[in-house]
């Protein structure tokens, strides 16, 4: 399986849109930099968890 198949792109995009939308609704303006940082962090956590679970399941 290729590395690109395991990237959580849709999950990261969902986190980005969710945080941006929440900021826009609650504060009246969106902070895309804060949302992008949170989305990348969430994507990294998901990718590491998927790798760890797959490795653990194979053993």
Above 60 in pLDDT, residue 1? no
Asked if 59 and 35 count as a contact pair (C-beta separation under 8 A), the reply is no
* Global pTM value: 0.81
Query: How many C-beta atoms surround the C-beta of residue 25 within 10 A?
Result: 9
Instruction: Tell me what pLDDT residue 59 has.
Output: 62
Give the residue, 56 or 59, on which the prediction is more confident: 56
> Please, are residues 32 and 20 in contact by the beta-carbon 8 Å criterion?
yes
* DSSP-derived secondary structure letter, 28: S
Cα–Cα separations (whole angstroms), residue 37 to 17, 19, 20, 40, 41? 12, 10, 11, 5, 6
3-51 per-position pLDDT tens digit: 666 788 999 999 999 999 999 999 999 999 999 999 999 999 999 998 8
Q: Is the pLDDT of residue 54 over 90?
A: no
């Amino acid at each position: 399986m290729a590395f690109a198949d395991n990237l959580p792109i849709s999950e990261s995009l969902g986190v980005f849109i969710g945080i941006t939308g929440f900021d826009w609704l609650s504060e009246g303006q969106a902070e895309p930099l804060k949302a992008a940082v949170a989305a990348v962090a969430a994507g990294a956590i998901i990718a590491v968890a998927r790798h760890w679970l797959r490795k653990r399941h194979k053993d």
